[in-house]
Each structure stands twice: as structure tokens, then as C-alpha cells.
Amino acid sequence: MNIINFTPQSAFLGGIIIGLAVIIFFIGNGRLAGISGIVNDTLVSKQNRTDNFLFVIGLVLGPIFYIFLTKIDIPFLITSSLPIIISAGLLVGIGTKIGSGCTSGHGICGISRLSLRSITATIIFMITAIITVKLIG
Amino acid sequence: MISRIISLISGTIFGVGLSVSNMINPEKVLGFLDLFGQWDPSLIFVMLGAIIVSAPVFFLYRNKNKPLFADNFSISTLKSIDKNLIIGSGTFGIGWGMVGFCPGPAISSLALLNTYSVFFVLSMLGGFLLTKLLDRIIIPTQHT
């Protein structure tokens, strides 16, 4: 194992900003910023649909604001092929729906609430993701 | 009405955080997941930053019964570590490791107008719908 491309400062700062988003959504609307749930509910649930939709719109506006304010391009690279992308998208959709959450819902909100379910979920998806990268990387 | 503004603001700030940390970039996330190769530990620091900010608030609010702009808190009360949690999370991890996209970054990356992001998000939505469809037949799921 070699450590490369490590950017602790920007990672930590970005994390703090994400944490702010989580607490604003929680204190204001009483909800957890679990993005798989919010996106899924926008699609299939009538409850809070406008709120959910606006959150999703905000997610897209975020990077635009960032680029506009900092004039810095966001490094972005996908090297996967289209069939892999489509399969991965399907697995992420199915998996987060059945497992009730993703990196934000379980990994950030759930761990912050010391939920044993979320801690377990996070350990599991980290392990299968690391194995996947090891196998196909 | 205010809850809608809160939703938009929260989503936007979340998207800024994903940009600042570069978690919007699948290559960066794959660097973290490549634990046995060229490892980039940054993602841990993102989670730490977010948890350090949000955990104290969740703790302080544990006995409050009303948020500012909604009638009540809507938070999962599920406690059991069941088959769905394990199978679902395991499946999600495989998809995450294949490309380096989880739902938040995938949605935010639509801002960068990359065709692959669009395909990923559409497939993910397809996965949600497919699960809802199957849900009625075999696997009852509960979502946070």
C-alpha cells in the first residue's frame, strides 16, 4: 500500500461543509440528509416531493456555485466503460434501496447518530467496494 | 414554504461540500477504495469532518420533538440488523466500487455535464424503480 493524492485539508473542509448541510436539514426540516432516500422518494413518493426535488436541485447547483465563486475547475474523471457504468448505477440503486441508505444516510448521518444499523451498513459497503476495486481495478 | 428553502439550501451546501472535498470525482473515490494499491485516505477525512459537525447536533437534539420548520422529526426507528440491510449494503458497495459513484456525488456531477454521469444516474433511478417493482413480489424494504 502506497499513499498518494492525499488531500486531508480540502477533504476535511469539504466534510465540515457537508456536516453543515446535514444539520441545517435536520434542525430545519427534521430530516436526515440521506441522498439515496431523497432521490428515491422524489421518484416514487408523493410525501415531501417538492422538498426532496429541491434538495436534489441544490445538489446540482452546489458544484456550479463552487466553480462560479472559486473560479477553480473541479477535477473529474470517469474511466469506466458504459456497460460498467450502467451496471454500477443499477446496483447502487437496488442496493441503497434494499439497504435503506448510502454513504450519506448510513455513512454520515447514521454514524453521527451512533446507529448500529448504519455502522454495520457502512462497514459492509466499504468492504464490498474495496473488494470490487481489488478485483476489477 | 420555509422548509422548501431549507431543502434547497441544504442540497446546495451539500453539493459545495462534495466539490470542495472533490468527492464528486469518481477517480478520487476509487483512490480511497484502492486500499491495497495506491491509497488515497481523503474520504475518511471527509466523513470525519461531517461527523464532527453533525454528531453533537444529533446528540443535543435527541430529546427535542419538533424541528424548526416541520411538524416532527422523521427519522428511521429501525434497530435490527436484518437481511435487507446486509444484502442491500453489500450490493451497493459493489456498484460503488465499480465506478466510484455513490448517489450524492453522482447527482452533483450532473452539473459538470458529463454524459457518463447522466447514464449512471438514469441507471440508478432504474434500480430504484426495479426494486419498488420487485418489492411488491418478494422483498419488503423499508427506507430511512
Contact A128 B76 (CB under 8 A): no
The per-residue pLDDT for range B50-103, each reduced to its tens digit, is 999 999 999 999 888 899 999 999 888 888 999 999 999 999 999 999 999 999
CA angle A107, A108, A109 (to 5 degrees): 110
Nearest-neighbour CA in chain B from A42: distance (Å): 10
Task: Say if residue B141's pLDDT is above 70.
Answer: no
In this prediction, residues A105-110 reach a mean pLDDT of: 98
User: Whole-angstrom Cα distance, residue A85 to residue A92?
Assistant: 10
The position carrying cell 447536533 is B57
Cell matching residue A6: 492525499
d(CA B91, CA B101): 13
- pLDDT tens-digit map of A128-137: 999 999 999 7
Residues on chain B touching A12 (C-beta within 8 angstroms): 45-46, 48-49
Looking at beta carbons, which residues of chain B come within 8 Å of A56? 11, 107
User: Which of A31, A61, A107 lies at the smallest CB-CB distance from B47?
Assistant: A107
- Of residues A16, A32, A76, nearest to B109 (C-beta): A76
Spatial contact of B141 and B135, defined as CB atoms under 8 Å apart: yes
Give the residue from chain B lying closest to A36, CA to CA.
B103
In this structure, are strands A2-3 and B38-39 parallel, antiparallel, or unpaired?
A: parallel
Q: Report the share of chain A in percent with pLDDT over 70.
A: 100
Domain boundaries, chain B: 2-135
